[in-house]
Structure 1
């Protein structure tokens, strides 16, 4: 039996970086102009222009390592506008607009109320994914951009059924605070858009895209380009609301003018309801047919 007073054969030969970081710095060299700090604890040093590649590596590693430690292997990404409101808020805005008599404000509020249906569908879809995938050997986690609107709806749907969800927030000139429904240990903040978009796709088994603006279109078309060019494996891309998307983008025109091939229209599928979206994913991956122990690689 080992004597606890004796060194263990597996003991570290050197202190850990954390242990060194906790040691008191010399008071003589503790001033703000001092270069005495350990490099990895010196924020001013890490924020230098020359350290960009190091910061990019850290931004890649942190979400990857923490998700791996929590056993997260499969995700479904929900994209969509930060401006789409829950139905109750949209109704309040419409009532306020009507009280002013401003026709333009009323028209915008009526449009916002109509679009709020997508908030409810995103919320419902996230709840379905979270509940029905819980029985799989590798549960599926909802991922959003972590902000308001459709992003909030996705995290909220998972939260309301007792599940965890991921938020990949981004630092913007106008502050975008994370919504309150993200699981705290899965709420990440990014400086680099490119690395954030990479993390959206690294574990994703499907992309579900609700109506949105420039950011949503950027994320959608980057995903389709990666699949179209063979840089990423095929996966379902579901576009909620055929009427919205076909009015926004004339996909047939792209085919007719030779800008894309007819087969490229198979990269995505239109859906209208949360149930329809889940049914397509269940059919694509065979969720309802594969025994739980065989779904580890979904």
Structure 2
């Protein structure tokens, strides 16, 4: 027994995970006593951008040849953090950034009316007033989007983070939907995009759930990866881009069909004639039924729930392994 104890005492303890009793030779730069030029030479090496670690070298990451890495990071950061927060499914809301709160829209009209009264011959002002009046007429959709966000946010309270409102993070319709969800006490997500000019996310997104993407393609991917429905309010080029891309993916079954609701029949019927497309033979009749119209927040939510009941699917249930990504 004595021999065994002595042998154990002689065996070393595990070393410290970072510290050493004696520094390694490379822990100190070559001293000037050995070479007067050495300190300056070492400084120049350390200051060179090429000495930066790859994951800390932003200039290197921005090179054209690193696009694949940037695409991966654009995808992976949002994916990881959404998973960390338990965000399982989403109701995605798109819509115009120029359609704001009714009070603000009305104030804009009143300001332009006063300016037009002072300069009755100014055609540019008259055009601005006509546009402002049309925007003010559509500002009712801000309240609808806000109410809808509140409805989804209240449902989220029953489902945890399994169903949240996701928008593009900007003003207008997106702000309204995020705002309603926030007012319901729910988490709400914004997927912003980097543009050449400075922009800000709307203030109603959950702070830890606002992401800024470099690439539109990866942003669109994240819109649809967890989507359980797409709700589209009146908007411009960006709204149409996202709408038609989603319809194409459903048409081709590249993604599993999901409810697509266009809010404001009069706007959408004037913007594009779906029946004309069917009659011209550029789409099939069944493609006409990939979306429908709604006018109120309550109607939107009731329609989405009805779609899932008819499909025999659980809106907050797990996605089957066969679903395309």
Taking structure 2 as the reference length, the TM-score comes to 0.80
Q: Distance in 2 between matches of 1:157 and 1:122?
A: 8
Deviation at 1:64, TM superposition (A): 0.5
Q: Does 1:212 align with 2:242?
A: no
Length-normalised TM-score, structure 1: 0.87
Partner of 1:199: 222
Per-residue Cα deviation, 1:3-34 (whole angstroms, up to 9, x for no partner):
xx9659xx99x9xxxxxxxx9x9755332x34
Question: Please, which moves more after superposition, 81-90 or 129-138?
Answer: 129-138
Pair 1:108–1:259, CA change in 2 (3 A): same
- Residues 130-166 of structure 1: CA distance to partner in whole angstroms, max 9, x if unpaired? 1023213663111111111111111111111211111
> Quick check: 1:110 aligned with 2:129?
no
- State the Cα deviation string for residues 210-237 of structure 1 (Å, max 9, x = none): 0111111110000000000010000000
1:185 aligns with 2:205: no
SS in 2 for 1:30: helix
> Match of 1:71?
86
Inter-partner Cα distance in structure 2 for 1:224 and 1:105: 33
SS in 1 for 2:268: helix
Match of 1:228 among 247, 251, 266: 251
1:38 paired residue among 49, 53, 58: 53
User: Aligned with 1:134: secondary structure?
Assistant: helix
2:282 maps to 259
Residue 59 (structure 1) shift: 0.4
Map Cα deviations across residues 184-235 of structure 1 (whole Å, 9 max, x no partner): 1111111111111111000000000001111111100000000000100000
Distance 2:156 2:308 in 1: 12
Structure 1 contact 137–295 (Cα < 8 Å) conserved: no
CA distance in structure 1 between the partners assigned to 2:249 and 2:129 by the alignment: 41
Aligned-partner Cα distance in 2 for 1:141–1:97: 38
What's the counterpart of residue 80 of structure 1? 95
Runs (4 or more) in structure 1 with deviation over 6 Å come to: none
Cα pair distance change 1:215/1:34, threshold 3 Å: closer
**2:119 equivalent to 1:96:** no
1:122 alignment partner in structure 2: 145
What SS does the corresponding residue of 2:289 show, helix, strand or coil? helix
* Structure 2 CA distance for partners of 1:121 and 1:28, relative to 1, 3 Å: same
Task: Quote the Cα distance in structure 2 between the aligned partners of 1:138 and 1:180.
Answer: 20
Question: Among residues 190, 207, 228, which one is paired with 1:167 in the alignment?
Answer: 190
Residues 109 and 70 of structure 1: CA distance in aligned 2, closer, same or farther (over 3 Å):
same
Unpaired runs of 5+ in structure 1?
Answer: 15-22
Higher-Rg structure is 2
| Residues 1:297 and 2:318 are matched in the alignment | yes
**Residue of structure 1 equivalent to 2:5:** none
Q: Which structure 2 residue ranges, 5 or more long, are not aligned?
A: 1-11, 19-26, 30-41, 117-124, 320-325
Q: CA RMSD in A?
A: 2.8
* Alignment of structure 1 residues 248-287 onto 2, 5 Å: 248-286=271-309
- Would you say the 8 A contact 1:156–1:182 is kept in 2? yes
Count of aligned pairs between the two proteins: 280
